[in-house]
Structure 1
Amino acid sequence: MTEAALQSHTLGDHIRRTIILAWPVMLARLGLVGFATADVIVLGRAGAEELADYTLGLAIYDSMLAALAGLTMGVGVLTARVTGAGDDLAAGTIWRRGVIYGAAVGCAAALLLQLAEPLYGLLGQTPERAESAGNVTRLVALALPFVAIYFSTTTFLEALHRPLVGMWAVAAANITNLGLNIVLVFGLGPVPAMGAEGAALATVINSGLLALTLWAYTRHRLPGRERYGIGQTAPAPSPGEQRRIGYGAGLSYSFEAGAFVMMTLFVGWLGTLALASHAVLFQFLATTFMLAFGIAAATQVRVGNAWGRGDPRGMALAGWTGLGLATLSSLAFALLYVTLPEGMLRLFTDDPTVLAAAAPVMVWMSLALVFDGNQTVMSHACRGRGDTWVPTALHMMSYWVVMVPAGWWLAIRSEGGLMGIYQGILVASVVSFTAMALRFHRLTRRV
């Protein structure tokens, strides 16, 4: 074995390579969450009712967004595999399929969410809340086709070890999103104040700009376009395999996101104050999760590259290195949230009732985010190895068999309120992380 190959097996090299790939992916994913973060910051100044409508209105949308992220995952997994095996020309075909497929599924999802208002009513929300939240959902759903194109393209670029493009594109989109939020939520000149619906419209506009910018760059400006077969038709892994990877990941993400929708519906049963508090608390969970998600995406690419070149030890080191980095980053933020709960909450709201309700829950949210981040790293490591359906089954078990019943029992049945919701999230995240870690260990041992 050459000296370069031996070096690629060292822990230090895996840490360095994972960080190099992960940090721009982290910032890009944080930027995507930044759309919702800006919405919450602006709506937090518009009042608890607008914040509650937005929180419930985005619950089902977020589950569809997560499903699209999973359905398009085959782009990144197969691109990492074929380039790891030296077949760069196949990459362009994989990307083109992903963009077309993702856009089609995104359009179908957007049409489905036009039925949001009666669905909220069936799920126990008041008629007034179902109507106002349903209006938000119907509008923000129009962003889904653009989000699918974004996912397909950014995961493709990340698999080519070019994550900076997506990072800078998302950073620019966040600037325009914040400006549009201020104008559309509060109104300016001839533009009327739209409240929560204004925040949804800002998301649609910025998602479209983001997706089209990244598509145009990849199609016309990406260095080495000929090498990667952009605009060409080349032999590639079958479309069926690409979709199967997406089916497994999409179903897995849907199980997880759908369970979180149920938790939000439980919060809706607790009233407006609980919904507003949950909106703020969940921003910390989602933002920190995206740091781990960036490491997870890098880990998936690194595991996929090692799999493509037939390197079992490299696969194991890539997976466990990603887990260690995610644990350290999540713990650092968890300690910050626990140490300065009210100060951190004031970043999103100055409502004293929301602050008083949310502050005691920060410790449970902080514990949950550590294990939630770790489970996604292990899930991505398994998928980078080509494991499709077992992680899906584990997610279903963790979130629907464990989290939803636990959340209902602790929050509703035992009257634990919002604190019970986050205790249920913690229990499910611990179960999911343990199961995924054991699965990845078994996969690498089998190789």
Structure 2
Amino acid sequence: MLSPSTRSATRELLTLAWPVVLARIGIMTMGLTDAIVVGNYASRELAFHSLAWAPHSIIVVTAVGLLFGVQVMTARMLGEGRRLEVGAVLRRGIVYALQLGIAACIALIFVGPWLLRQMHLDTGLAEGAGPALIVLALSMPAYLVSVGAQFFLEALGKPKPGMVAMWVANAVNLALNLLLVPDILGIGLHGATASCWATFAARAALAIFLVIYILRLPEARALGVFTRPRPNPEAAREQRKIGYGGGSSYFIEVAAFAAMTFIAGQIGANETAAWAVVLNISAVVFMVPMGLSSATAVLVGRAYGAGDSAAVLRAGLVGIGVVTGLTLIVALLVWPSAHLLVGAYNRDPALLAIAAPAVVLATLFFVADGIQVVAAQANRAAGDVWWPTIMHFTAYGGIMMPLGWFLAHRIGVDGLVWAVIIASLASSTLLTGRFVRIARRARHGG
């Protein structure tokens, strides 16, 4: 029987989490829409799209992690009762987002296509993916501003506007994909590159809406949104420090998965497309624990700011328990429908034969992957910045990448999936144990 405080924490988590989960699913639905439309246009264009997203995803996910301090610091200051200072957190976050976005754009344009050509990919794959990657690079500043704004709203306990905006952006993206990918308008764009232009427009619309929404909040002045903040180097350092930990972890994880895409590219175009389908379906599923991890971090951050160590432990364990149940349900739903899901991307028998069994196998890591991301965010919200990064490096850099290369060259795409399963089990075990230790130590004044 759950205690009243645990039931209350569960209700609060679920109330905050469901719009965040839907918003995160909306992020991946945009990529899913691109992949389905492009995949039905041509399977080779799907390979181009996947390879363009690989280096882009390394940068974008790392940058999202670097902005995680916006969410944690906003939640902490609310927990401490310092409402007037959260506007300064937002201002620092938006400026930081623009700086990161511009730097990422420049880096991807000048380094990304060159990097693709160094990967010894199957003939023509690097040349086809390069133009699409450049378009994705141009969308980075707007996308990161939208991430900072969403983190701020979620920490305020207002996740629904971000959810609605994300799904409106998805509608824009879908409409433009259907027009541009087959070049219905006759403007000379088609396939993967055209799809990336649709993503560019949707991201820009999302950023504009969220910034305007925050500026029009009735409590914006009371939160210090329009107040020029006094210099606070310590708070700025702490905000960036939290981001450094999150960004480092995300970089390690997404770079490892991007490396797996390059390994698939060494095997062949069908294997690359099949791995793209597996990764895309898994990424959509991952948005459920990703949303729960943000909600858990907000609750842990508030409790940490209020100095309530018992609530820190309770919020983290509730988040881990809820994500375990939800990802298990999702895995049981995906398992028998793998063939139908893969068929939505492309009905090529050769692709189906590789991708469908790999999707079935991938369901084995859904639960562990969900636990590890919730536990990592709970650790950071409780002030433990660098140990989650070290544990991610151990699991995904030290275990998954070399194991994936070894197994893929022997059993194909299934070998990549087995490497993810083993790494996710290691990561979830390490991070959960770390969170329990940190929370109990704080509780006992250690």
What TM-score bracket applies, with the shorter chain setting the length?
over 0.9
Residue among 325, 345, 353 paired with 2:342:
345
CA distance 1:160–1:9, shift in 2 (3 Å):
farther
Residue 306 of structure 1: aligned partner: 303
> Are residues 1:86 and 2:53 paired?
no
Which of 265, 268, 272 is the matching residue for 1:271?
268
8 Å CA contact retained: 1:89, 1:234:
no
Work out the CA distance in 2 between the residues paired with 1:131 and 1:193.
16
Verify the 8 A CA contact 2:122 2:268 in the aligned structure 1.
no
Residue 317 of structure 2 corresponds to residue 324 of structure 1: no
User: Which among 411, 420, 441 is matched to residue 408 of structure 2?
Assistant: 411
Counting matched residue pairs gives 438
Counterpart in 2 of 1:128? 124
Aligned AA for 2:90? W
State how far apart, in whole Å, the 1-side matches of 2:400 and 2:417 are: 10
* Residue correspondence of structure 1 range 376-391 to structure 2 within 5 A: 376-391=373-388
TM-superposed deviation, 1:289: 0.4
Amino acid at match of 2:392: H
Amino acid at match of 1:301: V
Q: Tell me the SS of whatever aligns to 1:186.
A: coil
Q: 1:8 offset after TM fit, Å?
A: 10
Q: Distance in 2 between matches of 1:161 and 1:9?
A: 22
Aligned residue identity for 2:437: R
Mapped to 2, the partners of 1:130 and 1:351 lie a distance apart of: 22
* Residue number in structure 2 paired with 1:19: 14
Q: Return the match for 2:204 from 196, 199, 208.
A: 208
2:56 is the alignment partner of 1:50:
no
Distance, in Å, in 2 between the alignment partners of 1:325 and 1:361 is: 26
1:25-36 alignment to 2 at 5 Å?
25-36=20-31
Matches within 5 A, 1:62-211: 62-114=57-109, 115-126=111-122, 128-211=124-207
Which residue of 2 is the match for residue 4 of structure 1?
none
How far apart are the structure 1 equivalents of 2:99 and 2:429? 35
AA aligned to 2:194 is: G
CA RMSD of aligned residues (A): 1.4
Q: By how many angstroms is 1:340 displaced?
A: 2.1
Aligned-pair CA distance for 1:351? 2.2
Q: Contact (CA 8 Å) 1:28, 1:166: kept in 2 or not?
A: yes
Q: Does the 8 Å CA contact 1:60/1:261 hold for their aligned counterparts?
A: yes
SS of residue matched to 1:238: helix
Q: Is the 8 A contact 2:261 2:276 kept in 1?
A: no
CA contact (8 A) 1:303 1:319 kept: yes
Task: Measure how far apart 1:136 and its partner are.
Answer: 1.3
Shift of 1:143: 1.2
Residue 121 of structure 2: SS of its match in structure 1? coil
Segment of structure 1 superposing worse, 16-25 or 41-50: 41-50
The amino acid that maps onto 2:56 is Y
Query: 1:184–1:192: 8 Å Cα contact kept in structure 2?
Result: no
Displacement of 1:240: 1.3
Is the counterpart of residue 363 in structure 1 residue 360 in structure 2?
yes
Please tell me whether the aligned partners of residues 55 and 276 of structure 1 are also in contact (alpha carbons under 8 angstroms): yes
Partners of 1:194 and 1:394 in 2: how far apart?
42
- Range moving further from structure 2, 206-215 or 339-348: 339-348
- Normalising by structure 2, report the TM-score: 0.96
SS in structure 2 of the partner of residue 10 of structure 1: helix
Residue 373 of structure 1 corresponds to 370
> For 1:386 and 1:199, how far apart are their aligned partners in 2?
40
1:227-242 alignment, distance < 5 Å:
227-234=222-229, 238-242=235-239
C-alpha distance in 1 between matches for 2:171 and 2:106: 29
CA–CA distance in structure 2, aligned partners of residues 241 and 148 of structure 1: 20
Residues 171/322 of structure 1: CA separation in 2 closer, same or farther (3 Å cut): same
Q: Give the distance between the partners of 1:112 and 1:243, measured in 2 at CA.
A: 21
State the AA in 2 paired with 1:232: T
1:437, distance to aligned residue in structure 2 (A): 0.4
Give the Å deviation of 1:28: 0.5
Q: Structure 1, residues 303-343: CA drift from partner, whole Å, max 9, x if none?
A: 00111111111111111111111111111111112122212
